[in-house]
Structure 1
Amino acid sequence: MHEFTVEIVSDRVARVAGTGDELVAPVGKSIQDSIYEYSQKRAVDAGAPVEVAVHRSGRCTQVTVAPDGTASRSAPTGPIPTSADRGEEPANADMIAEEPVSLTSDALGDTAHPAPDDAGQGSAPHPAHDARRQPVSVLAAPGIIPGATEPARTGIRGRLNAVLGLSLSPKPSSTEMRLRVAAATIAGPIPDFSTITVANTKGGVGKTPIAVGLAQTLATHRGGATVVCADLAESGGSLADRVSVPPPDEQNIFGLLAADQAATGHLRPSALGRHLTRQPSGEDIVAGHHDLTATQHVGLSGDDAAALASILAHHREILVADTGNNPLAGSWQWAVSEADALVVPVPLRRDAATTAHRMLLDLATTHPGRLDRTVVIITDGPGDTPMVESDTVDAFIALGVQVLRMPYEPLFAGGERIVPHHLRRTTAGSLTVITATVVDLITKTG
């Protein structure tokens, strides 16, 4: 496939690397339209699709354009530039959904919202080591970048390796290598105990599937018994109905809290395990309380949520909190205020986008700095209203939050149990990139 790179240098000018070609957007057209028209002409001249990498403000979007004008994104998913981005490109910056698109502005949408020049957010540096270096044996193996030396397994190089017995490494800019880098980020060091909160006060927007997907991806790359996904809805949500292995009816948060109160000292790992349900990827889940037949039903409070986190902090690395829709509930307030990373799923529906935007505006006032650790996930679905996307993305970017896209996943939308190996390949890739971005938020300083 023919490949070339375009760098956008201003709102109306772009340069094609290695050719000297300069694209200038005429009045009434965006620079993305000009890039699209130029790419289609290159595809027609070549008689085959071309892959164009569009760079702007340290971000990259890869799009494949066919001679007939069809444009499709070339990699799993990726962040839309935000007002908080640094000039340095993160490892997963150029990954966007591998789904057909009908509008040129959508195909090149990753470059349609340049990041302002203000200072931004980035990953935390590794902790500083003592300057007095310890002696290292000359026999020690050299350091290896995770996945960098492994032969390619997908794409043209992967097929050549399989057919000819070669050991070609993936291209540094390839989807495979970007996913390897994202996986290495997920498996990297994090604080002792972290909370990832999935929230949107609008119901039916996909909070639970995203929470389940994040927990599965974290456990896949960090190992089993490191992650717990908990239903922190005030009166119990749908988490138990969406995971691969459902918990017994009597197994819930209140049962775990009662066991901890009855224990002498910290709850032992074996006792904790009796109140968690292990999933195929290695993560555990703890369900909410659904018993509404009790004479005096008490919803999950903020103190209950804090007690749960305190118990898990002795045994696990990460809590993924699946929240309900009531922002006045104590458990919701705790999950949002204590979140080391806040994930907000937003389908392309005006009601869902408006509710999420209003929620973030409130959080900007009540929890200063919370938006610095927030990522909005634009989810594709059958009920999408495409004309909402531009306004939606602009509104969230104006708040300074990161914005990523998630391709349509039938298993998420259908309400069935989410079995990891039943997910689409694009969904698994998207979850890897999204999870790596969340880990970056967890490890950032400040």
Structure 2
Amino acid sequence: MHEFTVEIVSDNAARVTGTGDELVATAGKTIQDSIYEYSQQRAADAGAPVEVAVHRAGRRTQVTVSPDGTASRSAPTGPIPTTADQGEDPSNPDAVAAEPVSITLDPLGHIGRTGHTGHTGHPAPDGAGQESAPYPAPAARCQKVSVLAAPGIVPGATEPARTGMRGRLNAVLGLGLSPKPSSAEMRLRAAAATITGPIPDFSTITVANIKGGVGNTPIAVGLAQTLATHRGGATVVCADLAESGGSLADRVCVPPAEGQNIFGLLAAAQADPGHLRRSVLGRHLTRQPSGEDIIAGHKDLTAAQHAGLGGDDAAALATILARHREILVADTGNNPLAGSWQWAVSQADALVVPVPLRRDAATAAHRMLLDLAAAHPGRPDRTVVIITDGPGDTPMVESDAVDAFIALGVQVLRMPYEPLFAGGERILPSHLRHTTTDSLTVIAATIVDLITKPE
């Protein structure tokens, strides 16, 4: 087996022993990337696996790389280097190891009232117009950066790959290979960065399709979970805005208690019309494991005061939530004449339309979007259609449906089949397929792009 040794001399350079070849980390790559690519080329030239001994700061890693790029940790086939081989001089047994390098840091100046470092004056007392006498000179041992501070992130640096072939190599061999720029991992990282970015003070995401049973509620629940996972707890509320109460309470991880519904919250707000306290709001919302809150609709149609959720009720709910949350995910019913449905669609900063691959669902969604485009000309620019897989789908519908939606000027994304969505069970994030979680991340990033899109 062909063998050679690589010595890493810095974070960006390495030297191949015996050949004089110099390896350099190019833009977007680590030195480990360069060593791996060089080793693969050596294996391809030799037509056989090569054994690479990588040395760095006294540590040795043995890797076998095949011509097809497969790499695995291996024991060396040759003799294991002795201590003398690793740098000690056998002719001088009294030689000692080199002392560690010491770094002296400049002293840190005191911080004045303005908060800038380098000033040596006391903060001025209240009402004073100038600084008082300076502090004594700081001790020489005062360091500019605390030794306890966590290392900062170098701008432009890329975290090692965690998935795919490179992720497996990093996990098994302790390497630091970066993901390929075009890889799915990099696309998901970019999507996550978009989701966590700044958005307007309060935004409404409406999930709507006037055809019943197309997956409005599972999509609304999944989006709320995804947004809260990336943006943090107490930022997102998912509300059931169906006229007579939908299935939101039956699909979330933690069901709401009795009285935790929109009408209960509106009644509490009327009792305290000035400003609803956060503690009162919390008693009417139900926190979920991902950090999002949900608020259910009301299904008691026997009471006259609960005849149905109207547009004024939905607007009042949004006014309350806007004081304490960032995003409202509105799960709508299938009655386009209901006031709550019309409010949710007209006020949506982003409209999400789930469409299974069935002609009836696609036709209903297309007709709905045509009507909305006529009533709200800018609506297609803030709409995304989600093509979903499910039982009873007819794939031949997809091409016609996608072409029809694109012709309206809306974005179209595709989501794979998710058994938990189709089965009617409660939706626990940890039970979702990885493909579903990844798809929801991309969809959520697309929605945030729509929210932040200029008018």
TM-score, normalization: structure 2? Answer: 0.66
Please say if 1:395 is aligned against 2:376.
no
Of structures 1 and 2, the larger Rg is shown by: 2
Letter aligned with residue 181 of structure 1: A
2:185 to 176, 186, 191: 176
SS of the equivalent of 1:397 reads helix
Query: Partner residue of 1:198?
Result: 207
Aligned residues: 311
How many Å apart are 1:168 and its aligned residue?
1.4
Q: Which has the higher contact order (CA 8 A, sep 6+)?
A: 1
How many Å apart are 1:141 and its aligned residue?
6.2
Query: Partner residue of 1:408?
Result: 417
8 Å contact kept, 2:169–2:175? yes
SS of the equivalent of 1:181 reads helix
Please say if 1:258 is aligned against 2:267.
yes
SS of the equivalent of 2:158 reads coil
Query: Partner residue of 1:421?
Result: 430
Instruction: For 2:117 and 2:267, locate their aligned partners in 1 and report how far apart those are by CA, in whole Å.
Output: 50
Query: Partner residue of 2:294?
Result: 285
Query: Partner residue of 1:233?
Result: 242
Instruction: For 1:412 and 1:142, locate their aligned partners in 2 and report how far apart those are by CA, in whole Å.
Output: 39
- Residue 157 to residue 264, structure 1, CA distance change in 2 (3 Å): same
8 Å contact kept, 2:162–2:170? yes
Please say if 1:336 is aligned against 2:334.
no
SS of the equivalent of 2:265 reads helix
How many Å apart are 1:144 and its aligned residue?
3.5
Query: Partner residue of 2:307?
Result: 298
1:154-173 map, 5 Å: 154-173=163-182
1:274 to 277, 280, 283: 283
SS of the equivalent of 1:218 reads helix
How many Å apart are 1:296 and its aligned residue?
5.3
Please say if 1:213 is aligned against 2:222.
yes
SS of the equivalent of 1:224 reads coil
How many Å apart are 1:255 and its aligned residue?
0.3
1:308-319 map, 5 Å: 308-319=317-328
Instruction: For 1:281 and 1:394, locate their aligned partners in 2 and report how far apart those are by CA, in whole Å.
Output: 36
Instruction: For 2:318 and 2:282, locate their aligned partners in 1 and report how far apart those are by CA, in whole Å.
Output: 15
Instruction: For 2:342 and 2:117, locate their aligned partners in 1 and report how far apart those are by CA, in whole Å.
Output: 49
Letter aligned with residue 336 of structure 2: P
SS of the equivalent of 2:425 reads coil
Letter aligned with residue 372 of structure 2: L
Please say if 1:434 is aligned against 2:452.
no
SS of the equivalent of 2:391 reads coil
Query: Partner residue of 2:453?
Result: 444
Instruction: For 1:328 and 1:184, locate their aligned partners in 2 and report how far apart those are by CA, in whole Å.
Output: 38
For residues 31-69 of structure 1, the C-alpha deviation after alignment (integer angstroms, 9 at most, x for no partner) is: xxxxxxxxxxxxxxxxxxxxxxxxxxxxxxxxxxxxxxx
Query: Partner residue of 2:66?
Result: none
Query: Partner residue of 1:34?
Result: none
1:224 to 223, 228, 233: 233
Letter aligned with residue 225 of structure 2: Q
1:101-140 map, 5 Å: none
Instruction: For 1:306 and 1:296, locate their aligned partners in 2 and report how far apart those are by CA, in whole Å.
Output: 17
- Structure 2 runs not aligned, ≥5 long: 1-115, 119-143, 146-150
- Residue 341 to residue 143, structure 1, CA distance change in 2 (3 Å): farther
Instruction: For 1:445 and 1:331, locate their aligned partners in 2 and report how far apart those are by CA, in whole Å.
Output: 26
Instruction: For 2:306 and 2:264, locate their aligned partners in 1 and report how far apart those are by CA, in whole Å.
Output: 14
Please say if 1:384 is aligned against 2:393.
yes
Letter aligned with residue 190 of structure 1: I
Letter aligned with residue 179 of structure 1: L
Letter aligned with residue 274 of structure 2: G
Instruction: For 1:157 and 1:405, locate their aligned partners in 2 and report how far apart those are by CA, in whole Å.
Output: 27
- Residue 358 to residue 136, structure 1, CA distance change in 2 (3 Å): farther
- Structure 1 runs not aligned, ≥5 long: 1-134
Letter aligned with residue 269 of structure 1: R
SS of the equivalent of 2:284 reads coil
TM-score, normalization: structure 1? Answer: 0.67
Letter aligned with residue 365 of structure 1: A
SS of the equivalent of 2:191 reads helix
SS of the equivalent of 1:211 reads helix
- Residue 424 to residue 440, structure 1, CA distance change in 2 (3 Å): same
Letter aligned with residue 185 of structure 1: T
Query: Partner residue of 1:352?
Result: 361
- Residue 255 to residue 144, structure 1, CA distance change in 2 (3 Å): farther
CA-based RMSD of the aligned residues comes to 2.0
How many Å apart are 1:150 and its aligned residue?
1.6
SS of the equivalent of 2:239 reads strand
SS of the equivalent of 1:274 reads helix
Letter aligned with residue 349 of structure 1: R
8 Å contact kept, 2:259–2:284? no
How many Å apart are 1:293 and its aligned residue?
2.5
